[in-house]
Structure 1
Amino acid sequence: MTSVPTVAEVQVELAERPDDSPLRCSFVPLSENDIAQRLAALARPERTVFDPARGHLADAVTFQPCTRYTSQDRFVVRQLDVHGMKWTFTGVFDGHLGDATVEHTAHHLPIIVQQLLHKVMTGPGAPMPSPDVVRDLLSSGITAFDNAIAGDVLELFPGGIDTLPDRTDEEIQAVVNDFAGPSGGANYQKARLCLYGTTALVALVDPSHENLWVANLGDCEAVLVTPDADGRLPRHEVLNVLHNGSNAAEIARVRRDHPGEPESVLNGRVLGTIAPFRCIGDAPFKQPAVFTRRVLYNLYPGVPDPTPWETFLSRNRTPPYISSEPDVVHRRLGPRSLLILATDGLSELCDGAGRTDMVADWARCVTEAGQVPGKENLALRLLRHALGGEDLMYISQMITLGMDSPWMDDTTIIVQAL
């Protein structure tokens, strides 16, 4: 998992460098026009219009200013055709350790939700499922999708996990590193998914735009914004809790599930290692340690230094420690509502602000721009606001720092007009 300094830490680091250090001011002051062009090039703003007559659309950006680094964020904005009815699926995914699992999730999860909706709606004339049915569909579908990641690998070994200690390294390698075999590397691709993980925050809207469901694993942010009659002073509601060490209930849940294991949560992290308490993937925290030591250690190119792995595997006594059960909420939608979905990079840009004040500020930002629907990309507007708004020097510093590694987290935002 990449460790990214907060904005405040970067500022302190720059300020503490000697005045004659060429790195203290290693950024390029930009004009307003230059900032607009550079932000657009880096964030690649997109707009998807679902229903132009009713103003249903979604704006999206995904941002990482360090061009030497590949973002592990992904987002999805699409419609799901279910017997001719158009459901809207949007989601943000914050990958960690690598991008294989986040890419797999962003691609397959909307397909799975579409298939599940097809099953509960048996034909074009079928009644709409109840909110509880859709809630259960999202929850069970996400959990089953996650279970299949390690399950597909264990199916490669007849007898399952209990047989792994009796297999030689060569036998296991022949199964999972199948590049030259008839499967063409299919087993390898399955096993790779177990190495990595991703948070998931997805929103589903019914064809009539009367109902919204939000399912969450991890520490992204979902905020529902409803303007007043005059379009200002927006009401807003945070739709998810954070599944990380800032949530005392999550810490208590893990410790309750693993009595007598004081290191199940250590320094606010699961097994002292990973920040999200719920996510997709991350099999080393969900399977017995033998799965990692026998399968993943033998996955090409191997693990040259297992010391960091063994630090947390030695604490892995009664898995799973990370949950794949999402929180799912349902809300009835009013007119002119907006939904903000954002990975935790956006929160980190607002470092120092309390969560309540932070999301209220986001709500004001997107609502004040919404007087002329569709005129401005609201996700890009919110990103710029978090990066410094009209402070050209601050924004210049934050998007042009001369550093070889990321100085801010990957940041992905969707603002959806519902």
Structure 2
Amino acid sequence: MHRTAVRALRTSHRPSVRSQVRSPVLARGPHPSHHHHHHNHRLLHQHAHPQRPPGAAHVPLRSSMYFRRLPVALASGLILGYGAWQYNSADSVPGAAVTHSFTTTRGAADAAPTRTVLVVGADELRQGTIVGEGPLYKASTEDGHRIVEMLTPEQATAKLRRQEQSFYVNRGQGVTRYDLVQLGSNDPIEDDHAEKIVEVPVRIPPTDPEGEEVVTSSDWMFWGVFDGHSGWTTSATLRESLISYVARELNSTYKASSTEIPPPEAIDSAIKAGFTRLDDEIVHKSVEKVFKASSKAVAAELLQPALSGSCALLSFYDSRSELLRVACTGDSRAVLGRRSKSGKWVATALSEDQTGGNPSEVARMRMEHPGEEHVIRNGRVLGGLEPTRAFGDAVYKWSREVAGRLRENFFGRSPSPLLRTPPYVTAEPVVTTTKIEPENGDFVVLATDGLWEMLTNEEVVGLVGQWIETQKTGKPSSQFDKAWSKVFGSQSKPLPVEQGKEAAGFDGKTPIRVQQWGIDPDARDRFVVRDKNVATHLVRNALGGANDEQVCALLTLPSPFSRRYRDDLTVQVIFFGHGDKTSDKTGDVTVNLDATTDQDPRARL
């Protein structure tokens, strides 16, 4: 049984559509394939998140990013040609449509303020300049072009940092800090995340017959990122429930074990059971309730998480064993950063992307559905869904009979004509186990695939290493800083990363967005360190780093246009290290205000 005392701190949201529209057709570069027998657990720390309204339609990825500076002399024609007009109140006529264009002379252009704008088209982005101070109309012409005012670097930084959070973990249990950030591309964001710390009592038997049992505790720490698609409701359900389902299964497994710590395979099975039982609730139990209630209102509420979908990446750290388990359903990725004897950082993937482009997943699917030629078609399940494992996505799991009844009596989507032997998609994760070395300053990056479309595993680990070495810590008394300084000292030079066996991307190629944007992956001085939050630091460098123009352009793009160039992003970075448990009154999990953007951070506690 769980007795839970909850301190809600907070979470976030997002989506990325993984149906047929997911793979970009690139104008540049190649086409992508696209302990305890007695457990009264105390829930110490978690994030929770507000619900958001359904998102906008998804736009196929069919663009290359192509920047071109346009001379001021072209500004007038550009604005007219692409359907945005400057508004001048002195010229307006009440009741008349405002369709004024403007012309510039060199004299006027020298005197009037200018603004940089972005022209969004089907195949390219163009940068232009307009003159004057009036507001811009966000009008679209028949050819689909739109013009929006470019964010300044300061505005872009504010947008990057809007949802950043950082926490010191002063519990003396091997974790010292974690940072996270989200950046939406879909509106609303379809990503989500969750974090919890559960205190687990540990009873140590006496060493001699006259001695007394010692009661101490260890921590179970969970971090999860959930990459939604076709809507935000499945990932929101995972944020609310997945950690609880997994913790419940782990608790039962530990209590039932004849040994102090259950066998590794039993722990892995418990994690898998938590995943699959929650998915069964989402996909099948919801249908039973809908048929029983026979109400369209009930159907609308209960079937949303089944009809949309989500990948899930959940890490579980047992502070007593110092083992980190990573459970992966879908194509989010976890990567370990560890410092080698050479002083460089080594990147090790702790999960494998589960898509129709993964040969082992393709082999599994073909074995489970013999004789079905199109079980994987164009790198997708039945030609439609990119991840081969996911929560929700019920149209790949329901029988034709169930899908037909739902569509006839309530609503639903038509199954693929290729659907013969469902289910084709499973929520069962692949679980890996890694021994963490807190004394060496290990860290782990968890991120949805939007990050890995932009950066390689080595780049991500090297960027965190670079960030570590350039930080001037703002809280020299924190346990995080004390543990850090023991390992790293006070060096300030950037850290290189070893180029090991880890390939550039899952398929060994340059990340797909780097190809799409036409970036030189080997360019010198491509990366910068400007952020106190390391997750924000990763996202900034994923979007262009030192290239402010590109960062501003990518952050300026409105939804749904932005989806052509970048996905939703959710990034978590967990730092391991040995620190003492704090005894001050501020608590053992505290907000790191230097790396957290919030109007009132106290509202989280």
Q: Which residue identity does 1:89 align to in structure 2?
A: F
Report the Cα distance in structure 1 between the residues aligned to 2:296 and 2:150, rounded to whole angstroms.
Answer: 51
Distance 1:15 1:277, change over 3 A: farther
Task: Give 1:343-362 correspondences, 5 Å limit.
Answer: 343-350=448-455, 358-362=456-460
Alignment of 1:259-270 (within 5 A): 259-270=370-381
Aligned pairs for 1:331-370 (under 5 A) are 331-335=434-438, 336-350=441-455, 358-370=456-468
Look up the equivalent residue of 2:405 and give its one-letter code: R
Contact 2:151/2:555 (<8 A) preserved: no
* Equivalence for 1:78: 196
Q: 2:279 corresponds to which residue?
A: 146
Over residues 272-309 of structure 1, what are the superposed CA-to-partner deviations in whole Å (9 max), with x where a residue is unaligned? 1111101111121112122112125533xx35xx6xx3
Is residue 4–residue 409 contact of structure 1 (8 Å, CA) maintained in 2? no
Q: Which residue is equivalent to 1:166?
A: none
Q: 2:351: which partner in 1?
A: 240
* 1:212-234 alpha-carbon deviations (Å, 9 max, x no partner): 0000010111101112368x520
- In the alignment, which of 155, 168, 173 is matched to residue 49 of structure 1? 168
CA distance in 2 between partners of 1:366 and 1:209 (Å): 25
1:36 aligns with 2:153: no
Per the alignment, residue 571 of structure 2 pairs with 413
C-alpha contact (below 8 Å) 2:175/2:574 kept by paired residues? no
Whole-Å separation in 2 of the counterparts to 1:278 and 1:155: 23
Task: Determine helix, strand or coil for the equivalent of 1:278.
Answer: coil
**Displacement after TM superposition at 1:363 (Å):** 0.5
Deviation at 1:155, TM superposition (A): 3.6
Distance 1:321 1:12 in 2: 35
2-side partners of 1:281 and 1:204: how far apart? 22
* 1:319-352 deviation digits (Å, cap 9, x = unpaired): 11112221000011113111011101112234xx
Alignment-mate amino acid for residue 154 of structure 2: N
**CA–CA distance in structure 2, aligned partners of residues 315 and 152 of structure 1:** 25
Show CA shifts across 1:382-405 (max 9, x none).
111111111111111111125653
Q: Please report the RMSD computed on the Cα atoms of aligned residues, expressed in angstroms.
A: 3.0
Deviation at 1:80, TM superposition (A): 2.1
Distance change in 2, residues 1:39/1:156 (3 Å) = closer
Kindly report which structure 2 residues correspond to 1:305-384, keeping only aligned pairs within 5 A, or say none.
Answer: 309-310=414-415, 312=416, 314-335=417-438, 336-350=441-455, 358-371=456-469, 372=471, 376-384=532-540
1:111 paired to 2:231: no
Structure-2 residue corresponding to 1:63: 183
- In 2, Cα distance between the equivalents of 1:209 and 1:58? 20
Distance 1:31 1:100, change over 3 A: closer
Identity %: 26
Gaps of 5+ in 1: 158-171, 180-184, 351-357
SS at match of 2:353: coil
The 1-side partners of 2:408 and 2:309 are apart by: 17
Please give the alpha-carbon distance, in whole angstroms, between the structure 1 residues aligned to 2:571 and 2:154: 22
| SS of residue matched to 1:315 | coil
Q: Give the 3-state SS of the residue equivalent to 2:562 in structure 1.
A: coil
* Aligned residues of 2:153 and 2:552 also touching (Cα < 8 A): no
* 2:338 aligned residue: 226
1:51 CA drift (Å): 2.3
Could you say what secondary structure the match of 1:360 adopts? helix
Deviation at 1:137, TM superposition (A): 1.2
Amino acid at match of 1:317: R
Distance (whole Å) between structure 1 residues aligned to residue 69 and residue 404 of structure 2: 43
Quickly say closer, same or farther: Cα 1:263–1:62, change in 2 above 3 A. same
The higher relative CO (CA closer than 8 Å, separation ≥ 6) is in 1
Q: For residue 208 of structure 1, what is the aligned residue in structure 2?
A: 320
Q: Name which one, 1 or 2, has greater alpha-carbon Rg.
A: 2
Q: What secondary structure, in the 3-state scheme, does the structure 2 residue paired with 1:236 have?
A: strand
Matched AA of 1:73: D
User: Per-residue displacement from partner, 1:168-198 (whole Å, max 9, x unpaired)?
Assistant: xxxx5x834264xxxxx4x653333221211
User: 1:98 touches 1:196 (CA, 8 Å); kept in 2?
Assistant: yes
Q: Distance in 1 between matches of 2:369 and 2:254?
A: 40
Find the aligned partners of 2:422 and 2:400 in 1 and give their Cα distance: 9
Counterpart for residue 392 of structure 2: 281
Q: Read off the aligned partner of 2:181 and give its amino acid letter.
A: V
After superposition, the C-alpha distances for 1:85-117 in whole angstroms (9 at most, x for unaligned) are: 321100111111112211111210111122223
Q: Is the 8 A contact 1:29 1:393 kept in 2?
A: no
Query: What is the CA-CA distance between 1:48 and the residue it aligns to?
Result: 2.7
Superposition TM-score, scaled by structure 2 size: 0.57
**Residue 416 to residue 128, structure 1, CA distance change in 2 (3 Å):** same
Match of 1:98 in 2: 231
Corresponding residue number in structure 2 for 1:161? none
1:184-203 residue pairs with structure 2 within 5 A?
A: 185=298, 188-203=300-315
Q: Tell me by how many angstroms 1:129 deviates.
A: 3.5
How far apart, in 1, do the equivalents of 2:472 and 2:218 lie? 25
Report the structure, 1 or 2, having the larger helix content: 1
Q: In structure 2, do the counterparts of structure 1 residues 404 and 328 end up closer, same or farther at CA, with 3 Å as the change threshold?
A: closer
Paired amino acid for 2:277: A
2:265 is aligned, of 127, 132, 135, to 132
Give 2:177's aligned amino acid.
L
Query: 1:210: how far off?
Result: 1.1
Q: Which amino acid counterpart does residue 415 of structure 1 have in structure 2?
A: V
Shift of 1:55: 5.6
**What TM-score does the superposition give when structure 1 sets the normalisation length?**
0.81
User: AA paired with 1:80?
Assistant: V
Against the structure 1 CA distance between its residues 191 and 63, is the aligned structure 2 distance closer, same or farther, given a 3 Å change threshold?
Answer: same
Q: Which residue of 2 aligns with 1:290?
A: 401
Cα distance between partner residues in 2 of 1:112 and 1:403: 34
Aligned partner of residue 398 in structure 1, secondary structure:
helix
Q: In 2, are the aligned partners of 1:61 and 1:413 still within 8 Å (CA)?
A: yes
Q: Which amino acid aligns with 1:38?
A: K
Kindly indicate whether the alpha-carbon contact (under 8 Å) linking 1:55 and 1:373 is maintained by their aligned counterparts in 2: no
